[in-house]
Amino acid sequence: MPHTSSRMAGNSFIEALSAALPAGRIKIGNNIPAGAEHDWSHESHAAPLAWVAPQSTEEVAATLRVCHAYRIGVVPQGGLTGLTGGANTQQGIVALSLSAMHAIEEIDARTAVAQVQAGVVLQRLQEALLPYDLVFGVDLGPRGSCQIGGLIATNAGGSGVIQYGTTRAQILGLEVVLADGSILPMMRALPKNNSGYDLNQIFIGSEGTLGIITRAILRLHPCAPARHTALLALKDYNASLAVLQHLRAKFPQGIAAFELMWEDYVSAVQQATGLPLPFATQAPLAALLEICGQNKDALLTEFENALSEALDQNWIEDAVIAASQAQTTQLWKLRESVPELFALRQPINFDLSLPISQGGAFVARCRELLLQRWPLCNPLFFGHLGDGNLHIIADAKGLPAAIEADALCEAVYQLLPEFGGAISAEHGIGSLRTSQLRYCRTTAEIAAMRALKHAFDPNNILNPGKVLPAQ
Ligand SMILES: Cc1cc2nc3c(=O)[nH]c(=O)nc-3n(C[C@H](O)[C@H](O)[C@H](O)COP(=O)(O)OP(=O)(O)OC[C@H]3O[C@@H](n4cnc5c(N)ncnc54)[C@H](O)[C@@H]3O)c2cc1C
């Protein structure tokens, strides 16, 4: 009677887990918090066997020791803002939430370093750094929910990559619990450390499949006292590259964001939110850009001069520099209204990585292909084009049948090799894109990834079914 025996095994597992943890850490059945089964993707998911919220690294280790002994899968969960199903749960596995490990343990202003537990929410860290005039180099829309551990596990990007690099570049040290419950203590604030392999890097971007990140030492940056935000109307993609190159020369290290939005995206946001455009010009492209420096007035003059030179060159058709914090917020709202777009659609999301030079040609080809085959799929194009990251949101509501969503994804991914692109720039693979990894990774690369997975997690209990394609 396999059903009964598996239930008995489940019962004895829960008993063993309960014995290993202090009271109150485990929830089962109807007590599992609502929404704990899936991230924003709503990818395939089911209620887990148990939901555990440890309060210390030792408790994470104790949980994993029991799961390892019983061969029970474990899905680490941060703020559940992922877009690829990476944190989604399935029957018979344990969801391990880091949400109760939210201490900011230390901020050392002299060396610009912070030590945190993995469950610290990004916005809380940003607010805690304000009095020190320091910033963490990663910022993104769902800052009020995503956790530092989730950012590290996905090697998140966001709007600050152009200035500070991805999350990978912000990490000095990690503490990680391995599949068998052993702890790798790599919490060293060493800017340089060539003493053997850099194990931290293996866990960054591994989406919970190689270890559970419990603490981190973060590199911080001085907060630039002056900052200006502008929205530009551009005639085409080449013009945006010319503007970017021009501004890089004028403000070396000073470009804090360079986000592109094609006309289809801008008008969809306007329809969804009622946000006005600050200028009357209807241009094929809009760029949201942010410049930072030392002196607000001097920076503004330099910025105005740089933009008027770009106008003279016909690279930009119109430009508005935000005159107040309220206007800055409104300009950013144009770029960060993705949740409002999701709410009105059955979104099919893309997070493509492209050589920066190829962005314009790719968008033109992709839009033509999508509209020819699926005229009602309503694709919207935007992204962090300063770092070659193009997002597309298509709408499955406009497809003749649900199965067409897979065909649409395949059609987009099949274009990538020709342009030298990759299927994910920042959101990761999760469960959503495992079968498409082949479009940007060779068989040899996937084999090397499998070898790494086997070395760290021989029983395949850590986030099973994520990142690597089924064999
Ligand atoms: C509106 C919107 C905008 C977004 N914009 C961006 C953007 O600009 N740039 C960007 O990069 N992403 C963006 N994202 C995606 C998402 O916010 C990021 O991937 C974020 O890093 C996920 O963090 P989280 O704490 O919510 O992780 P979760 O969604 O909970 O988990 C993500 C993955 O990390 C694993 N994980 C979580 N915590 C740990 C841990 N402590 N140890 C090991 N594994 C762990 C999970 O198993 C899962 O595989 C956006 C999402 C939304 C909804």
DSSP characters over 127-162: HHHGGGTEEES---TTTTT-BHHHHHHHT---TTHH
Q: Is 207 in the pocket of ligand 1 (CB under 6 A)?
A: yes
CB-CB contact of 55 with 100 (8 Å) = yes
**What Rg value do the Cα atoms of the chain yield, rounded?**
23
Please tell me the distance between residue 99's alpha carbon and the centre of ligand 1 in angstroms. Answer: 13
Question: What is the CATH number for 427?
Answer: 3.30.70.2740
Q: How confident is the model at residue 6 (pLDDT cuts 50, 70, 90)?
A: low
How, if at all, do strands 380-384 and 255-262 pair?
antiparallel
Q: How confident is the model at residue 2 (pLDDT cuts 50, 70, 90)?
A: very low
Q: How confident is the model at residue 8 (pLDDT cuts 50, 70, 90)?
A: low
Q: Between 237-250 and 359-373, two packed helices, what is the crossing angle to 10 degrees?
A: 150
Q: What is the DSSP string of 448-462?
A: HHHHHHHHH-TT--B
Residue 465 lies in a domain: no
Question: What is the CATH number for 197?
Answer: 3.30.465.10
Q: Is 73 in the pocket of ligand 1 (CB under 6 A)?
A: no
Question: Of all protein residues, whose CA lies closest to atom 44 belonging to ligand 1?
Answer: 208
Q: What is the DSSP string of 319-378?
A: EEE--SHHHHHHHHHHHT-HHHHHHHS-EEEEEEE--GGGHHHHHHHHHHHHHHH-TTS-
Query: Are 17 and 90 members of one domain?
Result: yes
Q: Is 21 in the pocket of ligand 1 (CB under 6 A)?
A: no
Mean pLDDT of the chain: 95
Question: What is the CATH number for 11?
Answer: 3.30.43.10
Please tell me the distance between residue 77's alpha carbon and the centre of ligand 1 in angstroms. Answer: 9
Residue 186 lies in a domain: yes
Nearest to 75, CA basis, from 155, 149, 184: 149
Report pLDDT digits (tens) over 137-188. Answer: 999 999 999 999 999 999 999 989 999 999 999 999 999 999 999 999 999 9
Question: Cα–Cα distance between 79 and 119 in angstroms, integer?
Answer: 8
Q: Is 156 in the pocket of ligand 1 (CB under 6 A)?
A: yes
- The C-alpha angle with vertex 227 and arms to 217 and 308, in degrees rounded to 5, equals 140
Query: Are 267 and 329 members of one domain?
Result: yes
Q: What is the pLDDT of residue 42?
A: 73
Domains identified in the chain, total number: 4
Residue 422 lies in a domain: yes
Q: Is 339 in the pocket of ligand 1 (CB under 6 A)?
A: yes
Print the domain residue range for 176: 104-222
Nearest to 303, CA basis, from 320, 287, 318, 315: 320
Q: How confident is the model at residue 275 (pLDDT cuts 50, 70, 90)?
A: very high
Report pLDDT digits (tens) over 28-42. Answer: 999 999 999 999 987
Question: Cα–Cα distance between 15 and 278 in angstroms, integer?
Answer: 61
Q: Is 388 in the pocket of ligand 1 (CB under 6 A)?
A: no
Residue 461 lies in a domain: no
Report pLDDT digits (tens) over 289-311. Answer: 999 999 999 999 999 999 999 99
The residue among 72, 99, 126 that closes a domain is 99
Report pLDDT digits (tens) over 431-458. Answer: 999 999 999 999 999 999 999 999 999 9
The residue among 99, 130, 159 that closes a domain is 99
Q: Is the pLDDT of residue 230 over 60?
A: yes
Question: Cα–Cα distance between 345 and 396 in angstroms, integer?
Answer: 7
Query: Are 110 and 197 members of one domain?
Result: yes
